[in-house]
Amino acid sequence: MKKLVILTGAGMSAESGISTFRDAGGLWDRYPVEQVATPEGWERNPTLVTEFYNRQRMQLVKAQPNEGHRLLARLEEAFDVAIVTQNVDDLHERAGSSHVVHLHGELMKVCSSRRPDDARYIRTLGPDELRVEPGTLAPDGSLLRPWIVWFGEAVPNMTVATHLAAAADVFVIIGTSLNVYPAAGLIHYVPREAPVFLIDPKPVAVPEGRPVHIISDVATAGVRTLTRELQAIG
């Protein structure tokens, strides 16, 4: 099977009712990024940050995968699919995708604030644990924090993502502005001979000299078109 690598961003989950971050009316309009998505914000007010992610978690459990998520999962019938996502939701997994790499963490997981990437302290919350009480401690005695990669922090899964991009026979970008690094740089690792598709209803700046097949549509409709296009490749 050919290797299909898909990079998804906030636009992938927008049709499921998950708020985007950068668009007008998005999360960063309502909650200053410095307060809820930086290590400094956490140090200043961990209660505020904990409650912010509690609210996001409550929103997530009410959301359902959209048709775009389900169509991507179905592509595993014809391709060796790996999804690299900037999203912290679990909608790809709930739609049935079996290989998902989260660059920016996962909303349904918590970790040690002293050692955020220590696997011993990363835990998936159960359905009766969606609200984390401020002040809850991790097993190492530090405050329990969301397993989210905040601005200014390293992206642990970036090495995995670059290796996937470098091995891609086909590379697809869905619902991301390509403004957020290091994720936006993944396209530079894709082999020159591999076709690249981009799905987004808004104009996205792509690297000069790199042929990109643009599908100007929202995620669900765009993935429908992509599926037809891929039939000629697979």
Catalytic sites, residue numbers? 104
Closest CA to 8 of 90, 64, 63: 90
C-alpha to C-alpha distance for 69 and 207, rounded to whole angstroms: 26
CB-count exposure of residue 231 (10 Å: 0-12, 13-18, 19+): exposed
- CA distances 132 to 45, 90, 135, Å, are 15, 18, 9
C-alpha to C-alpha distance for 146 and 163, rounded to whole angstroms: 26
Closest CA to 171 of 194, 192, 205, 200: 194
DSSP string, 37-99: SSHHHHHH-HHHHHHHHHHHHHHHHH----HHHHHHHHGGGTSEEEEEES--S-HHHHHT-S-
